[in-house]
Structure formats: C-alpha cells, structure tokens
Structure 1
Amino acid sequence: MLKIENIDLYYDGIHALKNISLEVNKGEIVTLIGANGAGKTSTLRAISGLQNYKNGSIKFKDIILNKIPPHKIVSFGLSHVPEGRKIFANLSVNENLLLGAYLRKDKKALQDDLYMIFTKFPRLKERKNQQAGTLSGGEQQMLAIGRALMNKPEMLILDEPSMGLAPIVVKEIFNTIVEINKAGTTILLVEQNANIALSIADRAYVLETGKIVLSGNAKDLLNDSTIKSAYLGE
C-alpha cells in the first residue's frame, strides 16, 4: 500500500534521512521506533508532502507522491495525526471533526461517521460544543485521531500518540488504534514508547541517525536483546 524507496532528506544542510526504504502492506500495523532525532517524524512528513526530499520515491496505492501537495495526498485516502496533535484550539470539538472531512461531499455518511467517532470516543461527544483548547491532553489526542478518521482514510499515520499522556490514557489510545486497524484501516505508527508500539504492531523498523538499522516481525524485535537494552530499558 505504501512503499518508500531510497529517499534522502535534508534540513538546512543536515542529512536527516539517509537512503531510507520501507513498506507498509494493506491491513498492517507497522511501527517506526528510535531515539529522538532519529528521523521518525521526518519520514512521516515526507510521506504527507509536508517536507521535500531529495532523492528516491514514495508511492501510496501505486500513486507516486513526489511533489504532490499535502491536500491532494489527503484526498488519496491518507490521513496524518501529527506530533503534538495540532488541533484547532479556538474551535469546538465538533468544528475540528468537521474540518477533518472538508474534502467530503457525502453529507449523510459524514453524519454517520460523526456518530461513529462519538461512539468510539464518548468524552468527545460530552464535550462536542467545548473549545478544543480546553480539553485535556488525552482528549486532544482523541480529537486529533477522530479528525483524521473523518477523512475516511485507508491508511492512518500517527506521530507519537502517547506523548505527554498518563499511562492509563496511553493504554486507552492504543486500544483504540488496534480497533481502528481491525476495522480495516492500515496504520503506520511512530512512537517513542517502543514497548507498547512493538506489542501492537505486525512489523517494525528501527531508525538510528537517519538510517534504518533493523527491521522485522514486531514480536521478534520485542524479544531482541539489542532492542531491549537500547529502547525498552532492560
């Protein structure tokens, strides 16, 4: 479904991604793990068209994404939940969700999907007329995921969904990610909490200083001694 081949990405002369190649098959949860500055967010931003890259190609459903603007990429069925959530703080919960569906014309199905989001995240329903900036961190993350789902994506990419959240909220968010995947949405997940990411993923890639240094079955990597010592605190 998604195929990245040999991309190089630079920030102000710094070589942030070095000949990166990876793929995500339909129906999978694939995770990218690595330390801060490894290139995880840069990879996602390249996929979404938010960051230009120098060489190589990115294909989504056999569409070459090189130089396609982000709003067009969204229309292909790819939604991005960014690091830090980036909700519209001065708008209501409901308005944020509707903005996630700005490309859609099917008004009846849109209302059905709003109902689905409120069923999945009951706290958002309780706060649907509340300003999004007044929500807790966990509620804002739920809103960011809900907004992305309003696009009816075939693939959802998530950047650090556990960041700054209490463990009980993290568990709830990750249970929802698994549910979303089981309902048919392919997931590419960037996550600093390697333990929880590997526990729900099918496959994983390990990034270090802009290079993929390891990849494989997520459960195998979860039990790999090198991964345990480097990323799982064991």
Structure 2
Amino acid sequence: MLTVRNLNVYYGTIYAIQNISFEVKEGEIVTLIGANGAGKSTTLRTISGLIKPKSGDIEFQDQKITDLKPHVIVSKGLIHVPEGRKIIGNFTVRENLMMGAYARKDRSGIADTLEEVYTRFPRLKEREKQLGGTLSGGEQQMLAIGRGLMANPRLLLLDEPSMGLSPILTEEIFSIIRTINQKGTTILLVEQNAYMAFQIAHRAYVLETGRVIMSGDCQILQNDPKIRSAYLGEIA
C-alpha cells in the first residue's frame, strides 16, 4: 500500500532522514520507533507532503506521491493525525470533526462516518457542542483521531497518540487504534512508547539518527536484547 524508497530529508543543513526505505502493506499496523530526534515525525510529515524530500520516492497504492501537495494526498485517502493533536480550540467538537471531512463530497457518507465516530468515541458525542480547547488531553486525542477518520482514510498516519496521556488513557487509545485497524484501516504509527506499540503493531522499523537500523516482526523484535535495553527499559 505504501512504499518509501531511499528517502533523504534535510532541515537546512541538518541531515534528518538518511536514505531510509520501508513499506506498509494493506491491513497492517506498522510502527516506527526511536528516541527523540530519530526522524520519526519528520518521516510522517514527508509522507503527507508537509515536507519536501531532497531525494527518494514515496508511492501510495502504486502511485507516486512524492511531489504532490498535502491536500491532494489527503484526497487519495492518506490521512495524517499530527503530533500534539492540533485541534482547533475555539471550534466545537462537531466542527472539528467536520473539518476532517473537508475534501469529501458525499454528504450522506459524511453523515454516516460522523455517526460511526460518535459510536467509537461516545465521549465526543456527549461533548458535541463543547469547545475543543476545553476537552481533557485524552478527549482531545480522541477528537484528533476522530477528525482523521472523518476523511475516510485508507491509510492513517498516527504521530505519538499517547503523548501526555496517563497509562489508563494510553491503554484506551491503543485499544481504539487496534479496533480501527480491525475494521479495515491500515495504520502507520509513530510512538515513543515502544512497549505499547509492540502490543498492537504487526511489524516495526527502528530509527536512530535518521536511519533505519533494524526492522522485523514485532514479536521477534521485542525479544531482541538491544531493543529490550534501549526501548523497553530493561537491562541487557
């Protein structure tokens, strides 16, 4: 579904992404893990067209999207839920959700998706008329994911969905992500909480200073001594 080949990205003179390649197959949850500054969020922002790479190719559903503008990429069903949620604080919950459907023309389909989002996130339905900026951190994350779902994604890019959340809310968000995948949406997940990412993802790519240093099945990787020491808080 998504193929990234030999991607190179610079921030000014900083070589942020160094010749990385990876793929996401339809129906998978694939996670990118790594420390702060490893290049995880930069990778997602490049895939969604917010950053232009120096070189390399990005293909989505067998079409090259490397040089497309973000709104065109959205229209193809590749949706980015950014780090920090980026909801509109002075819009209501419903207004925030409807912003996610801005590129859609099927009004009946939009209404159906809105009801699906409310079914998946009952708290958003309860707070439909509440301003987004007054929600708790967990509710704002639910709103950000719900807004992404309003675009009817084929592939959902999730950037640090557990950031700033309590362990209980993190469990809830990850349970929701698993359900979204089981309902048919492919997911590329960036997450610093490697333990939680490994619990729901099928495969992982480990980034370090802009390079992919390891990849494979999550069940295998999480038993690797280097991974357990560096990302799971265990002493090798």
TM-score normalised over the length of structure 2: 0.98
Give the letter aligned to residue 80 of structure 1.
H
| Runs of at least 5 residues in structure 1 that lack an aligned partner in the other structure | none
Residue 29 (str. 1) matches residue 29 (str. 2): yes
Q: Is 1:83–1:161's contact at 8 Å kept on the other side of the alignment?
A: yes
Number of the residue aligned with 2:173: 173
Q: Whole-Å Cα distance in 2 between the matches of residues 194 and 153 of structure 1? A: 24
Number of the residue aligned with 2:150: 150
Q: Whole-Å Cα distance in 1 between the matches of residues 206 and 70 of structure 2? A: 26
Q: Whole-Å Cα distance in 1 between the matches of residues 55 and 85 of structure 2? A: 29
SS in 2 for 1:56: strand
Q: Whole-Å Cα distance in 2 between the matches of residues 92 and 16 of structure 1? A: 36
Number of the residue aligned with 1:20: 20
Q: Whole-Å Cα distance in 2 between the matches of residues 119 and 66 of structure 1? A: 35
Residue 77 (str. 1) matches residue 69 (str. 2): no
Number of the residue aligned with 2:209: 209
Q: CA deviation at 1:104?
A: 1.1
Q: Whole-Å Cα distance in 2 between the matches of residues 108 and 7 of structure 1? A: 39
Q: CA deviation at 1:111?
A: 1.0
What does 1:24-173 align with in structure 2 at a 5 Å threshold?
A: 24-173=24-173
SS in 2 for 1:223: coil
Across the aligned residues of Structure 1 and Structure 2, the Cα RMSD in angstroms comes to 0.5
Q: Is 1:199–1:222's contact at 8 Å kept on the other side of the alignment?
A: no
Q: CA deviation at 1:31?
A: 0.2
Number of the residue aligned with 1:229: 229
Number of the residue aligned with 2:218: 218
Q: Whole-Å Cα distance in 2 between the matches of residues 143 and 228 of structure 1? A: 32
Q: Whole-Å Cα distance in 1 between the matches of residues 67 and 106 of structure 2? A: 28
Q: Is 1:8–1:55's contact at 8 Å kept on the other side of the alignment?
A: yes
SS in 1 for 2:219: helix
SS in 1 for 2:206: strand
Q: CA deviation at 1:52?
A: 0.9
Q: Whole-Å Cα distance in 2 between the matches of residues 12 and 125 of structure 1? A: 43
Q: Whole-Å Cα distance in 1 between the matches of residues 47 and 54 of structure 2? A: 13
| Runs of at least 5 residues in structure 2 that lack an aligned partner in the other structure | none
Give the letter aligned to residue 194 of structure 1.
A
- Identity over aligned residues, as a percent? 62
